[in-house]
Amino acid sequence: MEMGKNIAVIGSGYVGLTTGTCLADLGNKVICVDNNEEKIAGLKNCKIPIFEPGLELLIKRNSLEKRLEFSTDIADATKKSDLVFLCVGTPPKENGETDLSAIENVTREIAKASNGYKIIVQKSTVPVNTAVGLKGIMKQYIKTEFDTAVNPEFLKEGSAVYDFMNPDRIVIGTESEKAYAELAEMYKPLNAPILHTDINSAELIKHLSNAMLAQKISTINLIAMLCEKTNADIETVAKGVGMDKRIGPDFLKAGIGYGGFCFPKDLDALIYILKKNGLDSGLFEKVRDINYDIRNHFARKISERFDKEGGLEGKIIGILGLAFKPNTDDIRLAPSTDIINKLKSKKAKIKAYDPKAMENSRKILEMEYCDNLYSAAENCDALLILTEWQEFKDMDLTRIRGSMKKPLIFDGRNIYNKERMKNLGFEYYCIGR
Ligand code: UDX
């Protein structure tokens, strides 16, 4: 086996922690850095700040085998490394523009600490032309030789470790043959196709990938609303459309839409960049609008159903699922939050359950939290499915029906068969079917 590389990963959030840990598992010596002392102290004791399947095991294994370390010291980690990965947050400002202050500060610190040839690899998702700017900052402060590269991540929360180890492609944007060779060698064990690009194109590949995926979801959700009006079935439509190899079957699942930190933020950033460059951003603005339309449509469906019974006031609504998608504890920009707030504003009483996301949800949403899905359903006037966790797909529907005040289900993720629900005696509403 080739000798592993010495790597510093700056920023230990979802991306940094997964990237650093997986790189250690490939045989490199990795130091994961974060300015949050509590987080780093925890990680040193294998206390993982996020829920991400498989990550804990890898952190334990690689810490034990001394390939993975944690630190709050950027300068020290830089000095000990040949490759420095930038994985700090690039949050949006109010106007959609990306806030680059963290990544710029970190770059300055790396440059000042540099004690030999370094490759600075930008992994954070940033607007096109950011790496060019960072290179300028590096030049201003660095005394040693260096190269820059852009190496976007395509990790999905809930399967980030798997995605890292099994990528569709690896994009390496760099003007330096030496930097390209180093990175290509580092990724060799993954046996994946590598695309060598210029740095600006690499930045745009990441933004456009997310924007096009979001566009697929909004397109299918718009047509789901049309299906309801025209008595067609969105699952059948998606299947037929997805069989065209040019379109493909993925990301055509209708439901209450996308959430999470990536799609909404990256779409806003792309809209901002298009406008800044004097181009029409309307296409992606519509994608964003439809993502809200579908949530509102779902909430409206619920309140219209309750109009027959004097409105939602005082009605008990059970919620199954808070996370923006299954297998994560992340509730950032989750459709569930909007929908719950709408129901609360109509004075409905909410009882909620999620297998992993309740701790995060408690910080932002006041409502009754239940220990399990059956107690969330008990005595409810209606039950809502907002995240497609496997345990909801597998639940005992007969038991649920028996414990509810009324057998009424609104399924925002289309997880049940309509006929079966009817036969079980449920009044069942879903999306586009
Ligand atoms: C996304 C990208 O997939 C990943 O490549 C990038 O690095 C980060 O952003 P993530 O946000 O973790 O990853 O989750 P993803 O699985 O892509 O789902 C995003 C949202 O779209 C979820 O809310 C999900 O419920 C929704 N979705 C997805 C649909 O509504 N329908 C679909 O068909 C697929």
Number of the ligand 1 atom closest to the C-alpha atom of 153: 7
d(CA 85, CA 32): 9
292 within domain boundaries: yes
* 97, 123 Cβ separation under 8 angstroms: no
In a domain, 53, yes or no: yes
Banded pLDDT at 96 (limits 50, 70, 90): confident
Pairing relation of β-strands 368-369 and 349-353? parallel
Q: Look over the chain and give the mean of its residue pLDDT values, rounded to a whole number.
A: 97
pLDDT tens string 266-299: 999 999 999 999 999 999 999 999 999 999 999 9
Q: Which of 196, 219, 247 is the last residue of a domain?
A: 196
Look at residue 205 and tell me if it is in a domain: yes
Instruction: Please give the Cα distance from 175 to 167 (Å, whole number).
Output: 23
- The two structure tokens encoding residue 249: 């079957």
Ligand 1 site residues, Cβ closer than 6 angstroms: 153-157, 210, 213, 217, 251-253, 255, 257-260, 262-263, 324-325
For residue 323, report the distance from its CA to the centre of ligand 1, in Å: 12
pLDDT for residue 343 is more than 90: yes
The amino acid present at 12, given as its one-letter code, is S
**Is the residue at 91 inside a domain?**
yes
- Encoded tokens for 177: 């043959």
**Residues 270 and 284 reside in one and the same domain:** yes
Given 148, 178, 196, which residue is the final one in a domain? 196
DSSP letters spanning 381-404 = SEEEE-S--HHHHTS-HHHHHHHS
Residues 296 and 387 in one domain: yes
Do 221 and 322 lie in one domain? The reply is yes
Kindly list the distances between the CA atom of residue 341 and the CA atoms of 98, 295, 347, in Å, as whole numbers in the listed order. 27, 12, 10
Tell me: do 387 and 266 sit in the same domain: yes
**pLDDT over 80 (residue 81):** yes
Closest residue CA from atom 10 of ligand 1? 156
Ligand 1: nearest atom to the Cα of 263: 9
Is 19 found in the same domain as 109?
A: yes
Residue 1 within a domain: no
The predicted model gives 19-40 an average pLDDT of: 98
Whether residues 266 and 213 share a domain: the answer is yes
| Candidates 32, 227, 262, 380; catalytic one | 262
Task: Flag whether 337 is in a domain.
Answer: yes
| Ligand 1 atom 21: residue of nearest CA | 258
Q: Which range marks the domain in which residue 96 is found?
A: 6-196
Q: Residue 79 Cα, ligand 1 centroid: separation in angstroms?
A: 36
Mutate to test the pocket of ligand 1, among 170, 213, 339 (most ligand atoms within 8 A of CB): 213
Per-residue pLDDT tens digits for 124-168: 999 999 999 999 999 999 999 999 999 999 999 999 999 999 999
**SS3 call for 191:** coil
162, 196, 230 - which closes a domain: 196
- 252 token code pair: 């055509």
Per residue in 357-370, pLDDT (tens digit) is: 999 999 999 999 99
Find, among 381, 380, 388, the residue nearest to 354 by Cα: 388
pLDDT at 318: 98
Tell me: do 41 and 147 sit in the same domain: yes
Known catalytic residue: 87? no
Closest residue by CA, ligand 1 atom 15: 156
pLDDT of 1 over the 60 cut: no
pLDDT digits (tens, 9 = 90+) for 387-422: 999 999 999 999 999 999 999 999 999 999 999 999
Task: Please indicate, yes or no, whether residues 133 and 272 belong to a single structural domain of this protein.
Answer: no
Compute, in angstroms, the gap from residue 156 CA to the centroid of ligand 1: 7
Report CA torsion sign: 25, 31, 36, 37: positive
- Say if residue 218 is in the same domain as residue 180: no
- Residue 332 placed within a domain: yes
Asked whether residue 248 falls in the same domain as residue 281, the answer is yes
Q: Are 161 and 18 in contact (CB under 8 A)?
A: yes
Please give the pLDDT value at position 308. 87
* Helix ranges, 192-321 (H): 199-230, 234-242, 262-276, 282-307
Residue 350 neighbours by CB distance under 10 Å:
21
308: Cα separation from own chain's centroid: 38
The reply to whether 335 falls in a domain is yes
User: What pTM value is reported for the model?
Assistant: 0.95
Strands (E), 79-189: 83-86, 118-122, 146-150, 170-173
Q: What percent of the chain has pLDDT over 70?
A: 100
Q: Based on the domain organization, do 182 and 234 belong to the same domain?
A: no
Tokens matching residue 38? 């509590």
Q: Average pLDDT, stretch 306-331?
A: 96
pLDDT at 7 > cutoff 60? yes
Same domain for 226 and 84:
no
Arithmetic mean of pLDDT, 250-268: 96
Structure tokens at 305: 């159903």
| Mean local confidence (pLDDT), 332-353 | 98
Confidence of residue 3 (pLDDT cuts 50, 70, 90): confident
The CATH code of the domain that includes 233 is 3.40.50.720
Number of domains in the chain: 2
C-alpha span between 206 and 92 (Å, rounded):
16
Percent of the chain at pLDDT exceeding 90:
98
Categorize the per-residue pLDDT at 2 as very low, low, confident or very high, splitting at 50, 70 and 90: low
